[in-house]
Amino acid sequence: MDRTTFLARIEEYHMGGWRLALINATSAMSTEEQPGGSFDVVWAFVKDNAFEYLREEIVPGDEVPSISASFPAAFLYENEIRELFGINVTGLNVDLGGQLYKTAKKIPFSPSAIRARLEANAAAGIASASPTPPAGPHGAAHAASSPAPTSAPTAGKTA
């Protein structure tokens, strides 16, 4: 990801008086281009009734800058994606040091952890999501559908 443009866009939201609504990560299973899987991370903002978000594809090990300089409340979400997904967020204003959630398994939502669970379920004969979801427009290949960080944020949605 392009760190400078990303932080500039975040700062635009900050100056525009937007409120941080959500930082969400989704793990994607491994593909041919990304054998270690990838993360689809969304930074969502709300102003009045407009809802907009920035989207980035993160590869495990990528460094993701914290946005807590612009949005101090981001620390909870950033600690969360660090603990649950293993995304390497740097420069947090409040670093809870892995103490936010006391999960039994460390990093339960990393692509490899999800795959291991699904395969264990399949081996035990428990019905569950298949470890290899069908590729399709909304399948594992969302890398292609994510807009580039420099593009305008994906159109706002009101729910």
Least CB distance to another protein at residue 105 (A): 9
Taking the complex as a whole, the smallest distance from the CB of residue 86 to another protein amounts, in Å, to: 15
Instruction: For another protein, give the closer residue by CB, 2 or 101.
Output: 101
Burial class (CB in 10 A: 0-12, 13-18, 19+), 74: buried
Minimum distance from CB of 129 to another protein (Å)?
3
Where along the sequence are the contacts to another protein (CB under 8 A)? 17, 19-22, 24, 26-27, 42, 44, 46, 48-49, 51, 53, 71-73, 75-76, 96, 99-103, 108-109, 114, 117-118, 121, 126-130, 133-134, 136-140, 157-159
What burial letters (b/e) apply to 23-48, b meaning 16+ CB within 10 Å? bbbebbbbbeebeebbbbbbbbbbee
- Tokens representing residue 58 in the block: 């993160």
Eight-state DSSP code of residue 83: H
Cα–Cα distances in angstroms (integers) from residue 54 to residues 43, 76, 93, 158, in the given order: 5, 18, 21, 15
CB nearer another protein, residue 36 or residue 97: 97
Residue 2 vs 103, nearer CB to another protein: 103
